[in-house]
Structure 1
Amino acid sequence: MATAEVAFPSRQRLIGVLARGREPQLAGLGVLLIASSALPLAGPQLLRAFIDHAAQGRSVSFLAGIAAAFLGVSLAHQALSVVVGYVSTHLAWVATNALREEVARHALDLDLSFHDGHSPGELIERTDGDVTALSTFMSSFVVQVAGSALTLLGVLVVVLLEDWRIGLGMFGFVLIAALTLGKFRDFAVPRATVRREASARLFGEIEERLTGADDLRANGGGAYAVRKFQQALAFFIRASIRASMATRTMWVITAAVFAVGGVLSLAAGTLLFQAGAISLGTVYLLFRYTSLVRDPLEQISEQQQIAQEAIAGFARVQQLLDERPTVRDNGTKTLPAGPLSVTLDQVSFAYHSGTNVLHSINLDLQPGKVLGLVGRTGSGKTTLTRLLLRLLDPTEGAVRVGDLDLRNVQLESLRQRVALVTQDVQLFGANVRDNLTLFGAHRADDDRLVELLDDLGLGQWFRALPDGLDTMLGPDGAGVSAGEAQLVAFARVFLRDPGLVVLDEATSRLDPLSEERIERAIDNLLDGRTAIVIAHRLGTLHRADEIVVLDHGRIVEHGPRQALVDTRASRFAGLLATASGQQDSEGVLR
């Protein structure tokens, strides 16, 4: 019961996304389905009239008129089927594209812990592959089954009017067939779900191996990668075989039911004809209507695999939408202009393991000051920056920026006023303009972009581009050096004009020439702004006003940079001495 209550909102949300704003089109599709389902009922009636009138010796011209009417009905049915197919496919793709957007947006809003446990390849398969299964379901299964159900209902009514005995018999057959299909309806769904999961796992495996292709080849890990791929592929093949066998089993069961029903229907019609209760044309009519009953049920059977894939995809999309981020955008306040203060008040944080990685952190950074944050790997530096960007919320205490608790601040305002630059810059397979403005997220005209590139020392690089701001960059910034990519990241920050900047190892992987340009850019970036600089290369902290040393999630030292440098017994001075290889730490920083 609890599970159903949790899943229900997502099911409503899915249906709402699929149907939103498309009610008139869906109503029109319903009318077309009714017309398309009714036309097959007219054909057997015309053929009965043709047979009976031919047996009575009517003229050729009269029979030709009936044949022409039958041909017209058949052509109209085919034309209407094409229209229904087009409209249903169009609606299905429009609706599921909206769902793709909804699912992708929801996935992007989920916590980092969720993304740490799910590879990009898996999420791509869940966002696109599972939704595609729903699209196929809507455009094929729903239309065919809905149309078949309407035709089936029409056949039962007409046959009941023709002969109540055969009508009741046909109704009984349909009831037995429906119960059989209902009993085995979910027989193959678990196997189809496993197949969808195996597909997602395979895509995730491919994505991960392709991402690490250079390291794998350089370190002789190719055989391992191939073996892991083969294991994922083998699991997918086994899951596909089991799902296919389940579908085949369903087909055999339903085919047996149809065969028995067809024999009984033909026998009943023959007996009534021999008794003189019905005409020869009516025998054909009943036989044809029996075929019309059989056809919808066979279509339902043949569409089982699509239904199974769709149900599995529906469940997985619903499961993804059921995931809830712990960081909610419930704030109503906006951060003030200018440099921002930073206050950490008894801040602790623990991941899902329950073990604190930050312990009762207290920190007060005044506006316009630069704080250097140092500590060994695993000391909590990255977690602290994620709290400042509200990618995480503290499990205890409060994080305040600009004297506002971040939980009360709109995320849009936070993302605009707090900026992060890391050593791993993400460039996209798009033009330079879109890479600078992040596809229009940061508004600026072309003149401003060119001016900014000149100010950052990228003027020569920019003027060598063949198409200027319209020059396309390769995927992941192919063709752009690490230094140039880092300066592009700084340009993005300048366009936002934040009040707080967090630099996380921004110069750690650069050559001396690139680092010199980055250092000049950092000086400009930090002018008039509050900054937190994380650095393993301690010599880059010469611009810091204060230093915080973290160790196992605790602040073990905090003070003015120069005072800590001058205090030989301080932890910071010890770290400098170690890092400089016994060189004079003061000489390094002064």
Structure 2
Amino acid sequence: MMADPHPDTSRTTGRSSTLGVLRTYLGPLKWQVLGLAALLLSGVGLNLLLPQLLARFVDNAKLGRAADPGLLIRLAGIYIALAVGVQLLNASATFVGARVGWTATNRLRADLMAHLLSLDMREHKERTPGEMIERIDGDVTALSNFFSQFAVRVFGAALLLTGALVMFYSVDWRVGVGVTAFTVVTLIAMNRVRKLGVEPTRLEREASAKLFGFVEERLSGLEDIRALGTGGHHLNAFLRTQREFFTRSIWSWRRRSVVWQLSMILFAAGYVGVLAAAVGLYAAGAITLGTAFLMYQYMSMVEEPIDQLTQQLQELQKAGASLGRVGEILSLRSAIEGGTQPLPAGALSVAFRGVDFSYTPDDPDARGVLHGVGFTLPAGQTVGLLGRTGSGKTTLTRLVSRLYDATGGQVTLGGVDVRDVPLKTLRQRVAVVTQDVQLFQASVRDNLTFFDPDMPDERVEAALHEVGLDTWLARLEQGVHTPLPTGSLSAGEAQLLAFARVMLLDPAVIILDEPSSRLDPATEGLLTAAMTRLLAGRTAIIIAHRLDTVARADRILVLGDGHVLEDGERAQLARDPRSHYAELLRAGVLDDAEGVLA
């Protein structure tokens, strides 16, 4: 009932590409990134110094009795101190990297949620809620793991690899050239094979989204599944969906594992080459034993960063697939955009002028829902909307609040085309109460205000009193702050809470989709009294399935097969024995409308 969130769409422009997403969400954290770089540089510098100390220690220890015990002790002490320093710097870099990664992806998660909420209903009908959850949670979590580790491991590994290669050149330029060639070949080979995992990973994420969607839909329809005894069939369908996810996961893992399998083979050859060179140089007297040991240590420093790069390439594959899927969502643009023209104050008239509508406007063979609908509802009046199932009643009301846009004709409020009104303004002035009231596992206050922290408790309590829930409110231990578990209210209480939401919003136009269709007579009387207070001084459209609901309507509008069959004042239509409304009155119930309006 409250206004929909509409983020600044300009912020999402340019985020559809991978670099665009990275630039948008990592760019504002540049100072933390620079601090992270300083920590990594310091840690790499100390890490490169440690083998030098170890080589000096080995060369001095080899002297036997001629060795200087004091020097050995000092070298050991310095080595231990620097090793501890390296660990502290690495821990600090990991902390800062995780902070940068989670800060960036939390912003992405929030913007992605706001963007999804801003999309029009066509987009939401094409995707299940489970798929949306997977995009916001699963894909962004994969990115958060990547962001939090990538800078530390990849950037740090690149620095360490560069430093180790420089050290090889300082020992012997021929060894340096050989290790450099080995490193280039290894990186090129792994970069080529890593691409094998991108498409399988994307398909794996899609299968995961499909699984989430399946579970969400079955949980939503749990009552029907149990009542009809079809649990076994749905379980079989779940197993088929899960099998597809499992199969794609295994295939994706196998493709990604090629990277580290190749790495193991190449480094086995690399170690053999470095050890052979060390042995040869030592036998020729070109290097000392400590330097030979130094070469082995630096080879491990080449292996470690490439191994880190190998692992992160797999994470990069996952992140690349997730970035692509997130970019697809961020690139979506709502076909419904607001204008800049304000609405007049007070109650608003509603007018349809030759309105056509189809849910599939791009399909020329598709059958439209509304055809040339035209009527005018004066400001402050109530119209009862009648018609058999599929006549277009609900669709007509969706066009007023712009959940969809008419494919032809014009809808106006207070003489202003709804397409020229800012969406936030429109949905503050038009409130919709459906039969299925959505309640959240939150406090009474949050359920009424839609988590608006600025709404005073007094206004919330006043709205509850206004709809007749004062006695119910008095029984709550924590008042409006009492948690309201889903399913704890009767249908009547849920409808009254929906009315209280509208009271807080104070709209100019109210749309009610048969608020009393599931209520007993006593509760219906309470709801009718609340509805009378709610509609006072406001324009209202009531979709009716009971005659009592429209007994106090000013006008009656009868739809049939997308056309206006009848439009006029209720009292006048009731007196006209040839009117559709009079036939319904004679039938006594609107349940017979299928036959009367056919």
TM-score range (shorter-chain normalised) is: over 0.9
Q: Counterpart in 2 of 1:384?
A: 396
Q: Which amino acid aligns with 2:48?
A: L
Q: Distance in 1 between matches of 2:225 and 2:16?
A: 44
Select the residue among 354, 359, 364 that pairs with 1:351.
Answer: 359
Q: Is the partner of 1:185 in helix, strand or coil? A: helix
Select the residue among 29, 43, 62 that pairs with 2:36.
Answer: 29
Q: Distance in 1 between matches of 2:24 and 2:477?
A: 43
Q: 1:86: Cα distance to partner? A: 1.0
Q: Counterpart in 1 of 2:7?
A: none
Q: Counterpart in 1 of 2:52?
A: 45
Q: Counterpart in 2 of 1:587?
A: none
- Corresponding position: 1:397 with 2:406: no
Q: Distance in 1 between matches of 2:358 and 2:114?
A: 26
Select the residue among 74, 86, 89 that pairs with 2:98.
Answer: 89
Give the structure, 1 or 2, with the largest relative contact order (CA under 8 Å, sep 6 or more): 2
Q: Counterpart in 2 of 1:283?
A: 292
Cα distance change, pair 30–256 in 1 and its aligned pair in 2 (3 A): same
Q: Which amino acid aligns with 1:337?
A: A
1:111-130 superposed Cα distances (whole Å, 9 cap, x missing partner): 21222222222211110111
Bigger shift: residues 95-104 or 371-380: 371-380
Unmatched segments (≥5 aa) in structure 2: 1-12, 593-598
Q: Counterpart in 1 of 2:384?
A: 372
Q: Distance in 1 between matches of 2:556 and 2:143?
A: 55
Q: Is the partner of 1:509 in helix, strand or coil? A: coil
Q: Which amino acid aligns with 1:212?
A: G
Q: Counterpart in 1 of 2:21?
A: 14
Cα distance change, pair 113–84 in 1 and its aligned pair in 2 (3 A): same
Verify the 8 A CA contact 2:356 2:370 in the aligned structure 1. Answer: yes
Q: 1:151: Cα distance to partner? A: 0.5
1:549-578 superposed Cα distances (whole Å, 9 cap, x missing partner): 112222122111122222222223234444
Bigger shift: residues 194-203 or 572-581: 572-581
- Corresponding position: 1:455 with 2:430: no
Q: Is the partner of 2:28 in helix, strand or coil? A: coil
Select the residue among 547, 565, 568 that pairs with 1:556.
Answer: 565
Q: Which amino acid aligns with 2:257?
A: R
Q: 1:40: Cα distance to partner? A: 1.5
Q: Which amino acid aligns with 2:449?
A: T
Q: Distance in 2 between matches of 1:512 and 1:11?
A: 59
Q: Distance in 2 between matches of 1:88 and 1:444?
A: 38
Q: 1:503: Cα distance to partner? A: 0.8
Cα distance change, pair 426–8 in 1 and its aligned pair in 2 (3 A): closer
Q: Counterpart in 2 of 1:484?
A: 493
Verify the 8 A CA contact 2:194 2:256 in the aligned structure 1. Answer: no
Q: Distance in 2 between matches of 1:581 and 1:524?
A: 25
Q: Is the partner of 1:556 in helix, strand or coil? A: strand
Query: Residues 217-296 of structure 1: matches in 2 within 5 Å?
Result: 217-296=226-305
Verify the 8 A CA contact 2:546 2:590 in the aligned structure 1. Answer: no
Bigger shift: residues 562-571 or 127-136: 562-571
1:489-546 superposed Cα distances (whole Å, 9 cap, x missing partner): 1111111211111111111111111111111111111111111111122331112222
Cα distance change, pair 86–581 in 1 and its aligned pair in 2 (3 A): closer
Cα distance change, pair 581–294 in 1 and its aligned pair in 2 (3 A): closer
1:186-213 superposed Cα distances (whole Å, 9 cap, x missing partner): 1112111122112111121111111211
Q: Which amino acid aligns with 2:517?
A: S
Verify the 8 A CA contact 1:10 1:321 in the aligned structure 2. Answer: no
Q: Which amino acid aligns with 2:470?
A: G
Query: Residues 165-180 of structure 1: matches in 2 within 5 Å?
Result: 165-180=174-189
Q: Is the partner of 1:557 in helix, strand or coil? A: strand
Verify the 8 A CA contact 1:374 1:536 in the aligned structure 2. Answer: yes
Q: Distance in 2 between matches of 1:218 and 1:314?
A: 42
Cα distance change, pair 10–38 in 1 and its aligned pair in 2 (3 A): same
Q: Which amino acid aligns with 2:431?
A: A
Bigger shift: residues 274-283 or 384-393: 274-283
Bigger shift: residues 79-88 or 564-573: 564-573
Q: 1:85: Cα distance to partner? A: 1.0
- Corresponding position: 1:417 with 2:429: yes
Q: Counterpart in 1 of 2:476?
A: 465
Q: Counterpart in 1 of 2:220?
A: 211
Q: Counterpart in 1 of 2:130?
A: 121
Q: Is the partner of 1:515 in helix, strand or coil? A: helix
Cα distance change, pair 444–83 in 1 and its aligned pair in 2 (3 A): closer
Give me the TM-score of the superposition, normalised by structure 2.
Answer: 0.92
Q: 1:581: Cα distance to partner? A: 8.7
Q: Distance in 2 between matches of 1:16 and 1:505?
A: 49
Unmatched segments (≥5 aa) in structure 1: 1-5, 584-590
Q: Is the partner of 2:533 in helix, strand or coil? A: helix
Cα distance change, pair 91–231 in 1 and its aligned pair in 2 (3 A): same
Verify the 8 A CA contact 1:270 1:283 in the aligned structure 2. Answer: yes
Cα distance change, pair 134–582 in 1 and its aligned pair in 2 (3 A): closer
Bigger shift: residues 572-581 or 338-347: 572-581
Q: Distance in 1 between matches of 2:497 and 2:23?
A: 41
Q: Distance in 1 between matches of 2:220 and 2:553?
A: 36
Q: Is the partner of 1:21 in helix, strand or coil? A: helix
Verify the 8 A CA contact 1:17 1:98 in the aligned structure 2. Answer: no
Q: Distance in 2 between matches of 1:538 and 1:143?
A: 69
Q: Which amino acid aligns with 1:176?
A: V
Q: Distance in 2 between matches of 1:191 and 1:26?
A: 32
Q: Distance in 2 between matches of 1:278 and 1:500?
A: 89
Q: Distance in 1 between matches of 2:414 and 2:27?
A: 40
Q: Distance in 1 between matches of 2:591 and 2:251?
A: 66
Q: Which amino acid aligns with 2:532?
A: D
Q: 1:582: Cα distance to partner? A: 11
Q: Distance in 1 between matches of 2:215 and 2:591?
A: 47
Verify the 8 A CA contact 1:7 1:318 in the aligned structure 2. Answer: no
Q: Distance in 1 between matches of 2:195 and 2:303?
A: 21
Q: Is the partner of 1:209 in helix, strand or coil? A: helix
Verify the 8 A CA contact 1:422 1:506 in the aligned structure 2. Answer: yes
Q: Is the partner of 1:548 in helix, strand or coil? A: strand
Q: 1:9: Cα distance to partner? A: 4.3
1:435-486 superposed Cα distances (whole Å, 9 cap, x missing partner): 1222127x64333332332232111111111221111100x3x211111111
Q: Distance in 1 between matches of 2:405 and 2:204?
A: 36
Q: Is the partner of 1:328 in helix, strand or coil? A: coil
- Corresponding position: 1:493 with 2:502: yes
Q: Which amino acid aligns with 1:465?
A: L
Q: Counterpart in 2 of 1:162?
A: 171
Give me the TM-score of the superposition, normalised by structure 1.
Answer: 0.93
Q: Counterpart in 2 of 1:586?
A: none
Q: Which amino acid aligns with 1:375?
A: G
- Corresponding position: 1:321 with 2:330: yes
Q: Distance in 2 between matches of 1:251 and 1:485?
A: 57
Cα distance change, pair 83–299 in 1 and its aligned pair in 2 (3 A): same
- Corresponding position: 1:362 with 2:374: yes
Select the residue among 428, 438, 459 that pairs with 1:426.
Answer: 438
Cα distance change, pair 459–376 in 1 and its aligned pair in 2 (3 A): same
Root mean square deviation of aligned Cα = 1.9
Over the matched positions of the two proteins, sequence identity in percent amounts to: 43
Q: Which amino acid aligns with 2:541?
A: I
- Corresponding position: 1:445 with 2:456: yes
Q: Which amino acid aligns with 2:116?
A: A
Q: 1:250: Cα distance to partner? A: 2.3
Q: 1:49: Cα distance to partner? A: 1.2
Q: Counterpart in 2 of 1:144?
A: 153
Q: Which amino acid aligns with 1:420?
A: V
Q: Which amino acid aligns with 1:342?
A: V
Q: Which amino acid aligns with 1:413?
A: T
